[in-house]
A and B are shown apart, each in its own frame.
With several copies, the nearest count.
Chain A
Amino acid sequence: MEGLDPGAVAWVLASTAMVVFMSLGLGFFYGGLVRRKNVVSTIMLSFVPVALVTLQWVMVGFSLSFGRDVLGGFVGFDSRYVGLAGVGVGEVAEGTGIPLLLYAAFQGAFAAITVGILSSAFAERVRLAGFMLFALLWTTLVYDPVAHWVWGGGLLHRFLVERLGAAPLDFAGGTVVHITSGFAALVLALVIGARRGFGEREFPPHNIPLVLVGTAMLWFGWFGFNAGSALAADFSAANALLVTHVAASSGALAWMLVAWRRGRPGSLGFASGAVAGLVAITPAAGYVDAVSAIVIGAVAGVLGYYMVLYRLRRGLDESLDAWAVHGMNGLWGSIATGIFARSSVGGVGGLLEGNVAQFAAQLVDAAVAIAYTVAVTYAIAVAVDRLVGLRVSETEEYVGLDISQHGEEAYAWGGE
Chain B
Amino acid sequence: MKKVEAIIRPERFEQVKKALEEAGYTAMTVYEVRGRGEQRGIELQYRGATIRVDLIPKVKIEIVLESDEDVERVVRIIAENARTGRPGDGRIFIIPVERSIRIRTLEL
- Residues of A at under 8 Å CB distance from B? 36-37, 197, 201-202, 263-264, 393, 395-396, 398-399, 403-404, 407, 413-416
Contact = CB atoms under 8 A, between A and B. Distances in A.
A404 B44 contact: yes
Given A407-B51, A416-B10, 12 more contacts: A201-B11, A201-B14, A263-B46, A264-B46, A398-B42, A399-B53, A403-B44, A403-B53, A413-B34, A414-B13, A414-B32, A414-B59
* Interface size of B as a range: 10 to 19
B34 A197 contact: no
B14 A395 contact: no
A49 to B, nearest CB: 23
Contacts of B27: none
A395 B57 contact: no
B30 interface: yes
Interface of B: 10-11, 13-15, 30, 32, 34, 42-46, 51, 53, 55-57, 59
B30 A414 contact: yes
A202 B44 contact: no
A413 B53 CA distance: 13
A404 B56 CA distance: 13
Contacts of A404: 44, 46, 53
A415 B44 contact: no
B11 A416 contact: yes
Nearest first, the 7 closest Cβ-Cβ pairs linking A and B are A416-B10, A399-B53, A414-B59, A414-B10, A399-B42, A414-B13, A403-B53
Contacts of A197: 11
A204 to B, nearest CB: 10
25 contacts: A36-B57, A197-B11, A201-B11, A202-B14, A264-B46, A393-B45, A395-B43, A395-B44, A398-B42, A399-B42, A399-B44, A399-B56, A403-B44, A403-B53, A404-B46, A413-B32, A413-B34, A414-B10, A414-B30, A414-B32, A414-B34, A414-B59, A416-B10, A416-B11, A416-B57
Nearest to B53: A399
A264 B47 CA distance: 10
A201 B15 contact: yes
A85 B6 CA distance: 65
Nearest to A202: B14
Contacts of A37: 57
A403 B56 CA distance: 11
A404 B43 CA distance: 10
